[in-house]
C-alpha cells in the first residue's frame, strides 16, 4: 500500500484545529485532481465519503488561489530565495551578488518588496556562522508501520536551512509575512517542534541533543528563536523530557487525522488566518462575518465606530455637568485636566469618585467611594 505521507503543515493543521486539517486535506486532493496531479487512494476514499455539497463547493474554486495578496507576495519572495540558493550552489557568499543581478528582472509589481526582503536576507546570511548542511532538504521518518488495515504513516518536513554548530544543529525557516513572533511562540509552534524532533530521529544525528530553531522574518529583518534539548525535563515532571512531550503531541495530531476527526476549535485568531473558512460552518463569528461579506463588514464597522464616537461625545457632556459614569468594571471619567475637557475609561478600583479635582495632593484628602 502507498504510505500516508503527512507533512508538518498537515500535522500542524490537525493539531491546531481538526476541522481545518480535514477541509484542507479534501481541498488539496480536489485541487490536485483538477490539475492532473497524483491523488492517493486514501485521499480519494475520504473525498468520496465527504458531504457531496461541500465537495461541489470546493470543485468550483479548486483552481483559484486561496491566498490574499500578502500570501502571494510572500510565496514569490520565498521562491526567489530558493532560486538564489540553487543558482549559487548553496554558497552563501554568492547569494548577495545573485540578488543584485537578478532583482531588477523580477515581476515589477513585487520588486520593491523583494528588494526589501533581499536586503534582510543578506544581513541574516552575513550572521550565519555555522556550517551549512542542507538547503531545501526533505527529511522523513515512518511514524507508524503498515498494518493489514492501514498504510504506513510517514511524517516529513522540508527544511529551508540546516546548519551544524558545536554538538548541535541549527534550523532556519524563512518567514515572508507580516507576522512577528516571540521566542515563546516559536518554542510552542508545531513547526519548530516537528523540525527538532524529526532530526533527532535520523541515525546520523542520534548523538545530537540540542537543536536551535530560528524563524528568519525577512520583511522585518528580525529573528525568533527556540532552543530544544531532547533530554531536558522539569524536576517536578520527571521523565517528561522534551522529546517525550513532542512525540506525544505529534502522535495525537496524527491520531486526529487517522480517526478522520472534524472537530472545530475556533478562535478569532485561528479563524482569521484559516484558508478554509469559506467552507467551515463553525468558525468564529467575527471571522466568518468578514469572510462571508468583507464589504458589508467594513461598512458596519464604519457605522459602529461612528456610533461609539457619538455615544462617547454624549457621555463626555454628561460628566461635564454631573460627574463620572460608573460601570460594572470601569468608570468613564475626565482625564487629568488639560485646556480641553476630555474623558476616558478608567479602572473602577483605581478611579476616584466625583470629588476628584485632578490634583493628586488635593484628591488624597477626599474619601474614596
Tens of pLDDT along the chain (369 residues)?
A: 889 999 999 999 999 999 999 999 999 999 999 999 999 999 999 999 999 999 999 999 998 876 666 777 788 888 989 999 999 999 999 999 999 999 999 889 889 999 999 999 999 999 998 999 999 999 999 999 999 999 999 999 999 999 999 899 999 999 998 899 999 999 999 999 999 999 999 999 999 999 999 999 999 999 999 999 999 999 899 999 999 999 999 999 999 999 999 999 999 999 999 999 999 999 999 999 999 999 999 999 999 999 999 999 999 999 999 999 999 999 999 887 666 778 888 887 665 444 455 555 545 544 444
Beta carbons within 8 Å of 282's beta carbon, 6+ residues apart: 19, 264, 266
**Pairing mode of beta strands 330-334, 325-326:** antiparallel
Digit-coded pLDDT (tens) for 303-361: 999 999 999 999 999 999 999 999 999 999 988 766 677 888 888 766 544 445 555 55
- Domain assignments of the chain as residue spans, ordered by start: 4-64+276-292, 130-261, 294-363
| Cβ atoms of 5 and 156 closer than 8 Å | yes
The values of phi and psi at residue 131, to 5°, are -75, 130
From CA 81, how far away is CA 171, in angstroms rounded?
16
**In this predicted structure, what is the pLDDT of residue 368?**
47
pTM: 0.83
**In this predicted structure, what is the pLDDT of residue 67?**
66
**In this predicted structure, what is the pLDDT of residue 354?**
46
**In this predicted structure, what is the pLDDT of residue 55?**
97
Cα 258 to chain centroid distance, Å, stands at: 24
**In this predicted structure, what is the pLDDT of residue 367?**
47
**In this predicted structure, what is the pLDDT of residue 189?**
97
Cα dihedral across residues 313, 315, 318, 320: positive or negative: negative
Q: Please list the alpha-helical segments (H only) found in the chain.
A: 8-16, 18-34, 41-49, 52-60, 69-87, 95-102, 111-126, 183-188, 190-200, 242-258, 268-273, 285-292, 294-322, 360-363
Closest CA to 82 of 159, 4, 184: 159
**Pairing mode of beta strands 168-175, 210-217:** parallel
CA separation (Å) from 74 to 128, 156, 159? 22, 22, 17
Amino acid at each position: 500500500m502507498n504510505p500516508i505521507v503527512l507533512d508538518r503543515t498537515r500535522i500542524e493543521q490537525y493539531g491546531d484545529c481538526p476541522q481545518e486539517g480535514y477541509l484542507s486535506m479534501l481541498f488539496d486532493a480536489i485541487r490536485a485532481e483538477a490539475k492532473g496531479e497524483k491523488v492517493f487512494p486514501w485521499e480519494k476514499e475520504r473525498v468520496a465519503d465527504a458531504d457531496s455539497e461541500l465537495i461541489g463547493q470546493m470543485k468550483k474554486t479548486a483552481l483559484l488561489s486561496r491566498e490574499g495578496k500578502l500570501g502571494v507576495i510572500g510565496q514569490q519572495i520565498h521562491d526567489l530565495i530558493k532560486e538564489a540558493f540553487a543558482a549559487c550552489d548553496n554558497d552563501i557568499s554568492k547569494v548577495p551578488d545573485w540578488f543584485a543581478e537578478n532583482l531588477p528582472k523580477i515581476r515589477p509589481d513585487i520588486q520593491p518588496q523583494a528588494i526589501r526582503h533581499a536586503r534582510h536576507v543578506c544581513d541574516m546570511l552575513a550572521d550565519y556562522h555555522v556550517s551549512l548542511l542542507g538547503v531545501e532538504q526533505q527529511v522523513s521518518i515512518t511514524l507508524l508501520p503498515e498494518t493489514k488495515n492501514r498504510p504506513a504513516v510517514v511524517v516529513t518536513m522540508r527544511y529551508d536551512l540546516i546548519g551544524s554548530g558545536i554538538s548541535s544543529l541549527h534550523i532556519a525557516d524563512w518567514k515572508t509575512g507580516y507576522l512577528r513572533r516571540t521566542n515563546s511562540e516559536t518554542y510552542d509552534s508545531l513547526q519548530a517542534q516537528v523540525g527538532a524532533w524529526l532530526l533527532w530521529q535520523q541515525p546520523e544525528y542520534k548523538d545530537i541533543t540540542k537543536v536551535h530553531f530560528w524563524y528568519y522574518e525577512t520583511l522585518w529583518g528580525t529573528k525568533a528563536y527556540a532552543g530544544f534539548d531532547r533530554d531536558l525535563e522539569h524536576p517536578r515532571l520527571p521523565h517528561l523530557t522534551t522529546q517525550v512531550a513532542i512525540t506525544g503531541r505529534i502522535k495525537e495530531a496524527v491520531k486526529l487525522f487517522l480517526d478522520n476527526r472534524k472537530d472545530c476549535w475556533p478562535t478569532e485568531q485561528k479563524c482569521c488566518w484559516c484558508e478554509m473558512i469559506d467552507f467551515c460552518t463553525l468558525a468564529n463569528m467575527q471571522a466568518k462575518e468578514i469572510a462571508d461579506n468583507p464589504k458589508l463588514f467594513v461598512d458596519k464597522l464604519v457605522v459602529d465606530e461612528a456610533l461609539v464616537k457619538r455615544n462617547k461625545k454624549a457621555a463626555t457632556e454628561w460628566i461635564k455637568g454631573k460627574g463620572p459614569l460608573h460601570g460594572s468594571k470601569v468608570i468613564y471619567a475626565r482625564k487629568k485636566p488639560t485646556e480641553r475637557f476630555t474623558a476616558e475609561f478608567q479602572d473602577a478600583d483605581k478611579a476616584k469618585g466625583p470629588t476628584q479635582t485632578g490634583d493628586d495632593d488635593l484628591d488624597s484628602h477626599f474619601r474614596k467611594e
